[in-house]
């Protein structure tokens, strides 16, 4: 096999990573936008604590996040056990669990991007809309949301890119199951642990770098174009 060729196992890891990352971006979208708006526009007791909790996954080891998810959403966890017994839903050790782990790690990036974008919006524009009779929901949908669109797009793409590189929380919560939870980072790790795996590992490393870099470029270009359209 030539250097650029991919085996079925490598293609499976690539496809699973894409699926998990897309679902991660989708899952974090609405909660991320709403949380970013709350943190940017609302004042309440304990706001600093909430802000710290939102950003906690960025500063603690990902393995800790994965272990906490396993305690809570595992089949014997206080939430996971209930989901399994009542609805027959199992999250741990499935690709859905990989989505959850990636979403937890990517959520702070989404919230931060949305919050910074909304904090730059002139509140006078929202106040003017209210004086003209627009309700809170209409102000949010017609003023705040469109003006914050560059930050929202950036946050979604950053969440997607973070999911592509997620390793610690994923392997702790859903293990490293071929075809089910083995994403690109886990596949790279697997190949580095077996004899003769240097070639496949190197291919996937290069592919991971290209995908992540492409996501960052797309994020920057899209945000700039959106800003120009809104001016």
Instruction: Write the pLDDT tens digit of every residue in 131-179.
Output: 888 888 888 888 899 889 888 988 998 899 899 889 999 999 999 999 8
Residue 147: strand, helix, or coil: helix
What pLDDT band is residue 103 in, cutting at 50, 70 and 90?
A: very high
pLDDT higher than threshold 60 for residue 46: yes
Residue 144: HSE in the Cβ half-sphere, 13 Å Cα cutoff: 24
Whether the model clears a pTM of 0.85, i.e. scores above it, the answer is yes
Nearest to 91 by CA among 75, 68, 71, 107: 75
Give me the residue spans of the domains in the chain: 8-230
Instruction: With beta carbons less than 8 A apart as the criterion, state whether 178 and 96 touch.
Output: no
Instruction: With beta carbons less than 8 A apart as the criterion, state whether 131 and 49 touch.
Output: no
User: Ranked by mean pLDDT, which of 10-14, 52-56, 124-128 comes out on top?
Assistant: 52-56
Looking at CATH, the fold of the domain delimited by 8-230 is given as MetI-like fold (1.10.3720)
Which residue is associated with the tokens 């499976």?
12
The two three-digit tokens of residue 228, written as one number: 């120009």
Instruction: With beta carbons less than 8 A apart as the criterion, state whether 114 and 37 touch.
Output: yes
Q: What's the pLDDT score for residue 203?
A: 87
Rg (CA), the chain: 20
pLDDT higher than threshold 60 for residue 2: no
Distance CA 63, CA 57 (A): 10
Q: What's the pLDDT score for residue 230?
A: 61
């Amino acid at each position: 096999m030539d250097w650029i060729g991919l085996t079925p196992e490598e293609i499976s890891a690539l496809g699973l990573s894409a699926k998990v990352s897309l679902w991660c971006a989708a899952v974090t979208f609405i909660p991320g936008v709403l949380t970013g708006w709350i943190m940017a526009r609302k004042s309440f007791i304990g706001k600093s604590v909430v802000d710290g909790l939102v950003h906690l996954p960025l500063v603690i080891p990902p393995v800790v996040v994965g272990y906490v998810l396993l305690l809570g959403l595992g089949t014997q966890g206080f939430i996971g056990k209930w989901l399994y017994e009542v609805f027959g839903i199992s999250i741990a050790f499935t690709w859905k669990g990989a989505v959850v782990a990636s979403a937890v790690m990517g959520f702070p990036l989404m919230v931060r991007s949305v919050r910074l974008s909304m904090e730059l919006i002139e509140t006078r524009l929202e106040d003017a809309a209210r004086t003209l009779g627009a309700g809170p929901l209409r102000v949010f949908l017609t003023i705040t949301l469109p003006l914050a669109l560059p930050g929202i797009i950036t946050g979604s793409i950053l969440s997607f890119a973070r999911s592509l590189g997620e390793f610690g929380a994923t392997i702790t919560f859903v293990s490293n199951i071929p075809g089910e939870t083995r994403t690109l980072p886990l596949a790279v790790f697997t190949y580095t642990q077996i004899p003769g795996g240097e070639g496949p590992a190197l291919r996937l490393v290069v592919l991971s770098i290209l995908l992540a870099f492409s996501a960052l470029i797309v994020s920057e270009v899209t945000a700039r174009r959106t800003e120009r359209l809104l001016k």
